[in-house]
Amino acid sequence: DQQVKQNSPSLSVQEGRISILNCDYTNSMFDYFLWYKKYPAEGPTFLISISSIKDKNEDGRFTVFLNKSAKHLSLHIVPSQPGDSAVYFCAAATSGGGADGLTFGKGTHLIIQP
């Protein structure tokens, strides 16, 4: 049973527009959430994270929103750029910021169209 769900396998967005990637989770013990970005033939790289004590975290063009009551988080990329085309993984941890491992979603393939 998937505890972290990314229901959109792919998403196509025009360059310059906003990209919104969604993630839902079922385990109420998760208290730390992360987004990873993955290019082909490379390992995932850390993008941005958020603790459950916050509802928003911003880093440049990337903002993560957390809605604990809905068990939902989203990643906003504004404006979208061609280099943002990649697979984005949502991940969650129950303690220690992931010191005991992360639970990942299946990923969303973001395609930025020129």
Residues at the site binding another protein, with contacts judged by CB under 8 A = 2, 32, 34, 36, 41-46, 49, 89, 91, 93, 96-107
Whole-angstrom distance between the N-terminal and C-terminal Cα of the chain?
37
Closest CA relative to residue 33, chosen from 85, 102, 100: 102
Tokens 């988080």 sit at which residue?
Answer: 73
Tell me the three state secondary structure of residue 19: strand
34: which strand partners?
49, 91
| Beta carbon of residue 20, minimum distance to another protein (angstroms, whole number) | 20
53 vs 100, which CB is nearer to another protein? Answer: 100
CB of 79 to another protein, least distance (A): 26
What is the CB-side half-sphere exposure of residue 89 using CA atoms within 13 A?
Answer: 15
For the CB of residue 61, give the shortest distance to another protein in the complex, in Å. 19
Minimum distance from residue 6 beta carbon to another protein (Å): 8
Q: Which residue, 49 or 80, has its beta carbon nearer to another protein?
A: 49
Decide whether 13 or 105 has the Cβ nearer to another protein.
105
- Cβ contacts of 68 within 8 Å, gap of 6 or more: 52, 55
Question: Which residue, 34 or 75, is less far from another protein as judged by CB?
Answer: 34
